[in-house]
A and B are shown apart, each in its own frame.
Chain A
Amino acid sequence: MSILVFAEHDNSTLKADTLKTVAAAQAIGGDIHILVAGSDCQSVAQEAAKVNGVSKVIVADSPAYEHQLAENISLLVTELAADYEHILATALTTGKNFMPRVAALLDVAQISDIIAVESSDTFVRPIYAGNAIATVQSLDSKKVITVRPTGFDPVATDGSAEVVAIDSVTDAGISSHVSDQLSVSERPDLGAASIVISGGRGMQNGDNFKLLEGIADKLGAAIGASRAAVDAGFVPNDMQVGQTGKIVAPDLYIAVGISGAIQHLAGMKDSKIIVAINKDAEAPIFQVADYGIVGDLFDVLPELEGKL
């Protein structure tokens, strides 16, 4: 039984979440291969070769894969699929984009966003914004699965897999990349940070997020936001935490001026410790918080920063 894991990367480094997807593959059990599809992505392949429990790294290096266009990547993965019983990708925007395409081309269902493996055909996944947890058995011979990173602990990077290049290039020729508008931040990645501090509508404007930055600097934290804060233009979209944004589960999550709508909770309620700062004692965020401060964030934040 063989498992193909699709590597998330930016053509230069392997995204750490891939180590969690490999953990899911290990829980399924079998010979694990990693596919690195990209352009000028040899350094990613070298990193992937060190991932624990992986026997082979397949590298497809072509300009056609540079931007991970779903049309091209899905053809490549489908071409390789014959050798595998399970195909796994991380449930981040790249995997979410191309994997259902792979499933449909293979005429199988996809099991999205798994958080646990029960057996080689049975998986656990949240539904209804995490308000229910479903155990689902796949009835297809091939399993196409996306893995939610918060469900698994990363595997070690002490392996030495063989690296094989393939030169078949699958270019569907129906889509092309135009431009990227990437957010650059010196802070840790939201998904990888052990502390996250998020601001909501209560922050009132983008400038006030500076109040969070001082604290984030002291704690080495990433900064997140609610949908309301993103919609209002306080901060960019990649900071949104929630059902339809990023799913995080840090050791410490500090929610500031966030009411705690179910869609927001869906993205953070598996955090180890939750702190809520809100002036409304009735705000639902306090129902999931380990520690709450009822107060005005404009008083609490400067004091917190000063005392840390």
Chain B
Amino acid sequence: MKVLVPIKRVIDYNVKVRVKADNSNVDLANVKMAINPFCEIAVEEAVRLKEAGIATEVIAVSVGDKSCQEQLRTALALGADRAIQIETDEKLDALNIAKLLQKIVDEEQPQLVILGKQSIDSDNNQTGQMLAALTGMAQGTFASEVKVEGDKVNVTREVDSGLQTIALNLPAIVTTDLRLNEPRYASLPNIMKAKRKPLVVMPAADFGIDLSPRSKLIKVTPPATRKAGIIVDSVDTLIEKLKNEAKVIS
């Protein structure tokens, strides 16, 4: 079976983003970019399915400008077989991304689509579920375990009260949580090999989808800053402060 893995180029997770002085957006100039950590986990899971003889082909796809080819190459170095870039310079809403991905699903007919549960920039947590709705597929979100069994996939999900396991008819959508796996590092030979793997560019404009924005970013501001705290020299002082100054314990 084919596995499709949509991935996103985002700010590196170690970087603390800054808001632009004019409050128009965050400042991404000269900021280190990387594959979204949840997407990397998605690629790893797909590659493991291939190594286990369950998946036959792993296809990575990303929506974005030319720079996202770097992350597609990363996915190829991790073990994806080929890549598709849906080219656009616009920052699209999750719904429009899902509509573009739906076309790829229609064409490639994957049995499993694995995505990250959220991207660490917009923190939306939407694309996988939207793609599931548009394709009529079942979804297993926030997955910490994925087991393909015959024409079903069992997904264990991280939920507020613990873990929930559900069974989905294939084809299905899975979105990854942090504990699904620990992604490997791409080896140098695999990075070299990835350069020769196929990467197809498809302009988003050719998809025949109305991609007009569904929301407008009015402004972006920095979060409220906390006032500087103090280091206390003893447990006694801490308890005294919590009781009498902060009044949060009695």
Stretch from B47-55, B60-68, B240-248 that touches the partner: B240-248
How many angstroms from the CA of A195 to the CA of B58 in the assembled complex? 46
Instruction: Name the prevailing secondary structure of the B interface residues.
Output: mixed
Partner of A134, one of B16, B154, B179, B220: B220
CB neighbors of B among A255-308 (8 A): 262-263, 269, 272-275, 281, 286, 288-294, 300, 303-304, 307-308
In the complex, B205 has a CB within 8 A of chain A:
no
- Docked-complex contact A180 and B235, CB < 8 angstroms: no
- Docked-complex contact B141 and A137, CB < 8 angstroms: no
In the complex, A6 has a CB within 8 A of chain B:
no
A175-B169, A183-B161, A231-B179 known; A195 vs B217 contact (CB < 8 Å): no
How many angstroms from the CA of A182 to the CA of B11 in the assembled complex? 34
State how many angstroms separate the Cβ of B21 from the closest Cβ of chain A.
Answer: 13
- Docked-complex contact B139 and A70, CB < 8 angstroms: yes
Partner of B154, one of A71, A74, A178, A300: A178
In the complex, B150 has a CB within 8 A of chain A:
no
CB neighbors of B among A138-193 (8 A): 138-140, 172, 174-183, 191
- Docked-complex contact A109 and B93, CB < 8 angstroms: yes
State how many angstroms separate the Cβ of A122 from the closest Cβ of chain B.
Answer: 7
Q: What is the interface residue range for chain B against chain A? A: 35 or more
How many angstroms from the CA of A139 to the CA of B95 in the assembled complex? 13
Partner of B120, one of A243, A272, A291: A243
- Docked-complex contact B162 and A236, CB < 8 angstroms: yes
How many angstroms from the CA of A108 to the CA of B209 in the assembled complex? 14
CB neighbors of B among A225-255 (8 A): 227, 230-231, 236-238, 243-244, 246, 251-252
- Docked-complex contact B125 and A96, CB < 8 angstroms: yes
In the complex, B94 has a CB within 8 A of chain A:
yes
Give the chain A neighbours of B232 by CB distance below 8 A: 291-293
How many angstroms from the CA of A36 to the CA of B123 in the assembled complex? 27
How many angstroms from the CA of A63 to the CA of B102 in the assembled complex? 31
Q: What is the interface residue range for chain A against chain B? A: 35 or more
- Docked-complex contact B94 and A237, CB < 8 angstroms: no
In the complex, B130 has a CB within 8 A of chain A:
yes
In the complex, A27 has a CB within 8 A of chain B:
no
Give the chain A neighbours of B29 by CB distance below 8 A: none
How many angstroms from the CA of A102 to the CA of B134 in the assembled complex? 10
How many angstroms from the CA of A168 to the CA of B5 in the assembled complex? 36
How many angstroms from the CA of A259 to the CA of B172 in the assembled complex? 38
- Docked-complex contact B165 and A179, CB < 8 angstroms: yes
Nearest CB to that of B164 among chain A residues? A180
- Docked-complex contact B218 and A135, CB < 8 angstroms: yes
How many angstroms from the CA of A97 to the CA of B138 in the assembled complex? 11
Which 6 pairs of residues, A with B, have the shortest CB-CB distance?
A109-B214, A100-B129, A104-B133, A104-B130, A100-B126, A175-B138
Enumerate chain A interface residues (CB-CB to B < 8 A).
Answer: 10, 67, 69-71, 74, 92-94, 96-105, 107-113, 122, 126-140, 172, 174-183, 191, 195, 219, 227, 230-231, 236-238, 243-244, 246, 251-252, 262-263, 269, 272-275, 281, 286, 288-294, 300, 303-304, 307-308
CB-defined A-B contacts under 8 Å, sample of 9 = A101-B130, A103-B95, A103-B133, A113-B123, A131-B223, A174-B168, A237-B177, A293-B235, A308-B239
